[in-house]
Amino acid sequence: MQQASKDPLHGKTLEFILTTLVAHFGWEHLGELIRINCFNSNPSIPSSLKFLRKTPWARKKVEDLYVSMNF
């Protein structure tokens, strides 16, 4: 029998997490919660994903916000 992962991010892609947060908060509020330029200046999912994949500290902030929201 397989044991379920206790990691709340298990099986969630960064794109899914970001899309969920944008749908819940909108770009403007998300940019207030996490102060990174890709959320505040001409935001889009592709450009934000590119930045987050290259920037571990920013990705962690996004993942932490997602976990704290208990989606």
How many CB atoms lie under 10 A from the CB of residue 13?
10
pLDDT at 46: 97
Domain that holds residue 59: 15-69
The first and second tokens of residue 32, run together, are: 């207030």
16 — pLDDT class (breaks 50, 70, 90)? very high
Q: Considering its fold, how many domains does the chain have in total?
A: 1
Has residue 6 been placed in a domain? no
Has residue 10 been placed in a domain? no
Here the CATH number for the domain that contains residue 43 is 1.10.720.30
Residue 27 has pLDDT above 70, yes or no: yes
- Rounded Cα–Cα distance for residues 30 and 37 (Å): 11
Tell me the pTM. 0.89
38 — pLDDT class (breaks 50, 70, 90)? very high
- Rounded Cα–Cα distance for residues 7 and 22 (Å): 22
